[in-house]
Structure 1
Amino acid sequence: MSATPHAQRRRRRSRIIAVAAGLATVGALAAATTATAGDSSYGKPGKQKPSRYQDVQLLSFNDLHGNLEPPAGSSGRVTEVHEDGTTSTITAGGVEYMATHLRKARAGHPYSVTAAAGDMVGASPLISGLFHDEPTIEALNELDLDVTSVGNHEFDEGAKELGRLQKGGCHPTAGCYIPGKKFKGADFPYLAANVLNKKTNKPILKPYWVWKQNGVKIGFIGVTLEDTPGVVSAEGVKGLKFKDEVQTINKYAKELERQGVKSVVALIHEGGLPASTNYNYDCDSPGAGDGISGPIVDIAKKITPKVDALVTGHTHAAYACTINDPSGKPRMVTSAASFGRLYTDTTLTYDRRTGDISRTAVKSANHVVTRDVEKAADLTALIDRWRTLAAPIGNRPIGYISADISNAGTESPIGDLIADAQLAYGKELDPGTDLALMNPGGVRAPLTYAAKGSEGDGVVTYEEGFTVQPFANTVNLQDFTGAQLISVLKEQVTGVNAASPKVLQVSSGLTYTLDLTKTGVDRVVVDSIKLNGAAIDPTATYRVATNSFLAGGGDGFTTLGQGTNDLVGADDLTALEKYLTANSTATSPITPPAANRITVIK
């Protein structure tokens, strides 16, 4: 399916009015308004004046992570709750289907804008990640995305690479992937209001952008989570500082108001956790109580009432809830899960007389990107083009599994497999390596048994391994005392991880109990921590394998940044490939780990 005339007009309009973002004076903004595309007959003699109230359709999504093809396993499913309380599972996702759904949703809505809340790229499957996410930017252009905030994963390769994705140009080391074709960059603006260059103290990209049509003006302010340096490698955020989300949004909401823009949407790459994992859970229903928790709740309660709606992300959750602003007035807060499985359709009723959104008329709902619709032909062609380039690398078998190896649970089977692989690789580098620890956020997907294409059931290809571990972190060995190792396990549930524990995946031989019925550091039962059946000796030295992100103290594991006797090995995907190759054959595949190393009490 080719782009509709409406979508083509939207893309042209996006290019024309992008200059409005960041303008400092009313006069400059007025000049941009003159250039805005729209109904040229508006205001001419004999033409009917638009009504006072105009519904604007806001379509939004978040955390795509380069999932151009339909995501596999649990990453490609959503759960729906029915009126009778029963639930069903729906397969979802894939940009070929998303394009069709978005284009159908826009039909009959001349006032429609599409926005996203970050992590469009990064931690991407091979079809995008192998090419530094150029395929995803091209796909988002075809989806007619108008604007997005940055997320933490937009900084995986640093600010300079993010700038290239915005402005275009071939990769500085990989070059141009298609001979004679220069990467053109994003048609839409990336917004980074709270990401400043340390030297200039100014945002590295536009802080906001204004959408206009026929006198309707809506400003979009984009921020990422302030703690981005805690979840991205130090190299990725080098030279940058990340400011408070609330203070930043409030600052630019005032600036937009001074420029005559009174309707504002915040695109925030920070999120919450709804009380239910069903995508259509009504967190505002009677009896639901506080239907959502997490960082976005406090943020939403503090953001100025000048902001009319919040599009959020980061937690990969699905919700469309209202949270009261500082004046006590309900305000819509949405998130569309992740990987392109959902999109949110929000109606913003614009008052032409006041220039503001009538909050009482705002309504929002998440919709599934089902796979029972016609694929968009232009996105299919895009995927086929990049798949052909990736095939020689991606189709290579690297191992065999006997069943799905899941990425679900506090301790996941795939997390244990990766930790075992890093321990085995660590022992190759240094036979004295004792254990391995893996951060759960670095495990991006399960391994699925069912065949993909012509590979055969149970075959694990390089592409599938890349999808599981796409970051190219190195495997690092460091020495820690037993006391430090105990501190590392305590950091799973304290400090920045106190509210939402980050449970490390552990290699075979390390066992302990995590009691989630307790609070604070007591959730880690110290007496239960054992290595190969022996209690951890606080004074002994242990050789520990981690990835380079953890070795730098990432995810709040500051003690892991204090190791000694460092040894840096190859990347983590190499370790996984070596382990699968050495420990599996077509006739003797790897069975899923039992995920019984951590005893969790709930």
Structure 2
Amino acid sequence: MSLTLKSIVPVVAVALAGPVLAAVPECGGPVTLGDGPAAVITTVANRPIGEACLDALIIDKAAEGAQYASHGAFVSVVTHQVDQWLEGAFIDVREAGELTSAAARSRVGKTLSVRVIAFNDFHGNIDGAALTLRSDPDGIFATTPSGARTGVPAGGVDYLAGLVRQLRADVPHSVVVSAGDLIGASPLNSALFHDEPTIETMNRLGLEFNAVGNHEFDEGRSELQRMQDGGCHPTDPNSCQGAQVGTPVPFEGAAFKFLAANVEDTATGAPLFPAYGIREFGGIRVAFIGMTLRDTPSIVTPSGIAGLEFRDEAETVNRLIGELRREGIEAIVVLVHEGGLAPGSIQRCSGVSGPIVDIVRRLDDAVDLVVSGHTHQAYDCTLPNAAGRTIPVTSAGSFGRLVTSIDLTLDRKSRDVIAAQAGNRLVDRTNFLAAATPIVPDAEIAAIVANYNALVGPIANRVIGSITANITRSANAAGESALGDVIADAQLRSTEDVERGAAVVAFMNPGGIRADFMFAGSSAGESDGQVTYGEAFTVQPFGNSLVVKSLTGQQIYDLLEQQWAANQPASGRILQVSGGFSYEHRFSPNQSSLGGSYVCDGSVTLGGVPVDRGATYRVTMNSFLATGGDNFSVFSLGTDQLGGEVDVDVLEAYFVSHSPVVPGTQDRIRRVVDCN
């Protein structure tokens, strides 16, 4: 119900004056004060008074107590209105007494409602034109005329802002937060401008806190600091395009706060960014602790985070609890860029697994809510903390296609969270969920995005080649993908000439392949099979350069074994390899234990010839791997280094010279049951 007590006086005046001409509402059941388990149900029959029902005039159940400064204020208002209704003969003496007593016994005014509006892993997806969401048993699918299920158009920062505005309008107290990877691995219309478009549009959306994710470090700590503070990029003229897109010049920086409690400068011991931010609602202060992925050093370029230490997430949170309580803060929310896997509905939590489970299990009981990210999963969970109490743990998928709306109920006396209710909401671009109020996109933000698209359009829409079929990142049982084959081949072709390094094999990390090449295409004016530069950039958005080093045959064997080292994900991390190189392994994801030896001896070959452990080979890798990224430390042992071109330029050149490009054969890596 949407009416509040401010509506009562004019309605009563009409009722007392004579017959009501407006339609009489249907009112049923007893009058109830408050909401949820604490609601007080009376024996007073609900009934129309003027154009509204009696219980709706007493309190807006959608935001229990949020509009009252105290319980006493609520009781006073109800008592005054009951007296008016009694005088107007709308209720009798018994009913007046029961309503007054129920108001005194209710919790209305004893609590305060705060809505946390959360998302994660936005990755600079400012334009939702090509974004869709495919879901699960919840039925978030569109159906084609043939009956096939396809993705529902969802996302875009203008629609995201529109939904945020809707969610904020419904409640008196709200806050907008992000659980990291707001920037980095972004589409060209944000990445070309060093993600300034994302920061500028998020400023206008009203984001307040962002827990720094691993991808915020893609361009190093200095560039991340510029994202917070503003100013133009020191060397790239694509920076500071505000005069052409309608934003301030120089680049304004983030109006919201970056938070990173567990990232410390090793020289000073101080956090790189504030550990937490505080918002006050109706006199109650709520803390938002920001937490970066602990494993960030293993998945970003090491030179970009030199001098920084990434501490354990749960231990860092727990150390801050005493400090927050000394400041009188009892309500604590953790924004952590780490997550889990939860197959099933975006509104449920079915069989959740992954690092977030252990992190929450070790959290102090003072933590009331965890907003997570990193895994690009959507879930709404309750997980046990260190005290065994279950607390809400949420994630909103990725790319701004979903938003999590979390309603917290705070006790005014204890200043702590006493209840929480969460749910993921679709950023619906087409009113697919017809029962929901259509989202009105933010016009100012839409104009900024359109202006950036106009700047980048000639670059993004340039056709660089073609494909014969979909070429995807999907790996076979051995861990090899068709797209991994193509990228590794492109990198070998770029570095095999003597003057470019004389490479004989190229290795590509799977995490650096961020999208698929789809035959149907997605760019405006693009025909089936055509590939644009924008699509190539989306596949390889990091701007890594190629590096050629000398490794021994033994080091190549050691490198392959590092795919299943103890510090790798449970399923391993399989490097993609160029044509002519092959090997066999016996690692089985989720069955074999990490840390063992799985490469079959003698199976590693080049051009069909076994690799000699004592010989030296020239090997191509990207600059991320060259310094030990993804925990492949063997790469850093290579000698006689020679730099090469930027990876996306290499991929473009390969498409120009090899189109139409066919999917890789996925026969270079073979998984076997036993080594012969």
1:501 aligns with 2:568: no
1:56 aligns with 2:118: no
CA 1:135–1:540 in 2, change beyond 3 Å: closer, same or farther?
A: same
2:252 pairs with one of 181, 184, 192: 184
CA 1:341–1:600 in 2, change beyond 3 Å: closer, same or farther?
A: farther
1:266 pairs with one of 325, 329, 334: 334
Given that 1:122 and 1:156 are in contact with CA atoms closer than 8 Å, whether structure 2 keeps it comes out as: yes
Q: Which amino acid aligns with 1:90?
A: G
Given that 2:69 and 2:109 are in contact with CA atoms closer than 8 Å, whether structure 1 keeps it comes out as: no
Given that 2:347 and 2:379 are in contact with CA atoms closer than 8 Å, whether structure 1 keeps it comes out as: yes
Provide the residue aligned with 2:517 in structure 1.
Answer: 447
How far apart, CA to CA, are the structure 1 residues paired with 2:132 and 2:609? Answer: 41
Provide the residue aligned with 1:130 in structure 2.
Answer: 192
Q: Percent identity?
A: 42
Query: What secondary structure sits across from 1:477 in the alignment?
Result: strand
1:90 pairs with one of 151, 154, 177: 151
Provide the residue aligned with 1:282 in structure 2.
Answer: 349
Task: Give 1:419 shift.
Answer: 0.9
Query: What secondary structure sits across from 1:80 in the alignment?
Result: coil
Moved more, 130-139 or 209-218: 209-218
CA 1:599–1:370 in 2, change beyond 3 Å: closer, same or farther?
A: farther
Task: Give 1:46 shift.
Answer: 7.2
1:67 pairs with one of 115, 121, 125: 125
**CA deviation profile, 1:63-103 (whole Å, cap 9, x unmatched):** 1111112375xx743322249xx995533332233223322
**Residues 157-306 of structure 1 mapped to structure 2, 5 A cutoff:** 157-174=219-236, 176-179=240-243, 181-274=249-342, 276=343, 278-283=345-350, 291-306=351-366
CA 1:123–1:326 in 2, change beyond 3 Å: closer, same or farther?
A: same
Moved more, 477-486 or 130-139: 477-486
Given that 1:551 and 1:561 are in contact with CA atoms closer than 8 Å, whether structure 2 keeps it comes out as: yes
Provide the residue aligned with 1:536 in structure 2.
Answer: 611
**Residues 406-555 of structure 1 mapped to structure 2, 5 A cutoff:** 406-409=472-475, 410-428=479-497, 429-430=499-500, 432-449=502-519, 450-497=521-568, 499-514=570-585, 515-516=587-588, 517-520=591-594, 521-555=596-630
Return 5+ residue gaps in structure 1 as ranges: 1-38, 284-290
**CA deviation profile, 1:176-217 (whole Å, cap 9, x unmatched):** 323472221112111011112233221122111111121232
Moved more, 479-488 or 375-384: 375-384
1:79 aligns with 2:173: no
Task: Give 1:318 shift.
Answer: 2.0
Task: Give 1:523 shift.
Answer: 4.4
Query: What secondary structure sits across from 1:236 in the alignment?
Result: helix
Q: Which amino acid aligns with 2:625?
A: L
**CA deviation profile, 1:98-148 (whole Å, cap 9, x unmatched):** 223322333312222111111100111110011110000012122221211
CA 1:248–1:453 in 2, change beyond 3 Å: closer, same or farther?
A: same
Query: What secondary structure sits across from 1:582 in the alignment?
Result: helix
Q: Which amino acid aligns with 2:507?
A: L
**CA deviation profile, 1:301-337 (whole Å, cap 9, x unmatched):** 1121111111111122222222211111111222222
Provide the residue aligned with 2:650 in structure 1.
Answer: 575
Task: Give 1:277 shift.
Answer: 5.7
Query: What secondary structure sits across from 2:302 in the alignment?
Result: coil
Provide the residue aligned with 2:55 in structure 1.
Answer: none
Given that 1:273 and 1:315 are in contact with CA atoms closer than 8 Å, whether structure 2 keeps it comes out as: yes
CA 1:568–1:111 in 2, change beyond 3 Å: closer, same or farther?
A: same
* Bigger CA radius of gyration: 2
Provide the residue aligned with 1:378 in structure 2.
Answer: 444
How far apart, CA to CA, are the structure 2 residues paired with 1:210 and 1:159? Answer: 24
Task: Give 1:437 shift.
Answer: 0.8
Q: Which amino acid aligns with 1:537?
A: D
Query: What secondary structure sits across from 1:417 in the alignment?
Result: helix
CA 1:45–1:501 in 2, change beyond 3 Å: closer, same or farther?
A: closer
CA 1:341–1:40 in 2, change beyond 3 Å: closer, same or farther?
A: closer
Task: Give 1:159 shift.
Answer: 1.9
How far apart, CA to CA, are the structure 1 residues paired with 2:264 and 2:461? Answer: 41
**CA deviation profile, 1:209-264 (whole Å, cap 9, x unmatched):** 11112123211000102221211112211232222222221122221111011010
CA 1:105–1:241 in 2, change beyond 3 Å: closer, same or farther?
A: same
How far apart, CA to CA, are the structure 1 residues paired with 2:672 and 2:174? Answer: 48
Provide the residue aligned with 2:90 in structure 1.
Answer: none
How far apart, CA to CA, are the structure 1 residues paired with 2:299 and 2:132? Answer: 24
Alignment TM-score, normalising by the size of structure 1: 0.85
Q: Which amino acid aligns with 2:415?
A: G
How far apart, CA to CA, are the structure 2 residues paired with 1:98 and 1:534? Answer: 55
CA 1:362–1:475 in 2, change beyond 3 Å: closer, same or farther?
A: same
How far apart, CA to CA, are the structure 2 residues paired with 1:77 and 1:193? Answer: 32
Moved more, 102-111 or 264-273: 102-111
How far apart, CA to CA, are the structure 1 residues paired with 2:620 and 2:333? Answer: 44
Say what the alpha-carbon RMSD is for the aligned residues.
2.6
How far apart, CA to CA, are the structure 2 residues paired with 1:245 and 1:447? Answer: 36
Provide the residue aligned with 2:636 in structure 1.
Answer: 561
Q: Which amino acid aligns with 1:250?
A: N
**CA deviation profile, 1:445-480 (whole Å, cap 9, x unmatched):** 112332411233322222222111111111011111
Q: Which amino acid aligns with 2:517?
A: L
CA 1:61–1:136 in 2, change beyond 3 Å: closer, same or farther?
A: same
Q: Which amino acid aligns with 1:503?
A: I
How far apart, CA to CA, are the structure 2 residues paired with 1:463 and 1:346? Answer: 36
Task: Give 1:532 shift.
Answer: 2.9
Task: Give 1:548 shift.
Answer: 0.6
Q: Which amino acid aligns with 1:168?
A: G
Query: What secondary structure sits across from 1:322 in the alignment?
Result: strand
**CA deviation profile, 1:431-450 (whole Å, cap 9, x unmatched):** 74211111111111112332
1:151 aligns with 2:218: no
How far apart, CA to CA, are the structure 1 residues paired with 2:71 and 2:382? Answer: 40
**CA deviation profile, 1:360-388 (whole Å, cap 9, x unmatched):** x3232223323314543233211111111
Q: Which amino acid aligns with 1:208?
A: Y
Given that 2:287 and 2:329 are in contact with CA atoms closer than 8 Å, whether structure 1 keeps it comes out as: yes
CA 1:146–1:498 in 2, change beyond 3 Å: closer, same or farther?
A: closer
Query: What secondary structure sits across from 2:121 in the alignment?
Result: coil
How many residue pairs match? The answer is: 546
How far apart, CA to CA, are the structure 1 residues paired with 2:151 and 2:385? Answer: 34
How far apart, CA to CA, are the structure 1 residues paired with 2:672 and 2:370? Answer: 35
Task: Give 1:518 shift.
Answer: 2.8
How far apart, CA to CA, are the structure 2 residues paired with 1:478 and 1:527? Answer: 23
Given that 2:72 and 2:109 are in contact with CA atoms closer than 8 Å, whether structure 1 keeps it comes out as: no
Query: What secondary structure sits across from 1:418 in the alignment?
Result: helix
How far apart, CA to CA, are the structure 1 residues paired with 2:135 and 2:576? Answer: 26
1:349 pairs with one of 393, 406, 409: 409
Task: Give 1:173 shift.
Answer: 2.1
**CA deviation profile, 1:144-191 (whole Å, cap 9, x unmatched):** 212110011111222222122112222222353234722211121110
How far apart, CA to CA, are the structure 2 residues paired with 1:598 and 1:281? Answer: 37
Query: What secondary structure sits across from 2:525 in the alignment?
Result: coil
How far apart, CA to CA, are the structure 1 residues paired with 2:580 and 2:218? Answer: 32
How far apart, CA to CA, are the structure 2 residues paired with 1:45 and 1:298? Answer: 43
Moved more, 561-570 or 176-185: 176-185
Alignment TM-score, normalising by the size of structure 2: 0.76
Given that 1:405 and 1:446 are in contact with CA atoms closer than 8 Å, whether structure 2 keeps it comes out as: yes
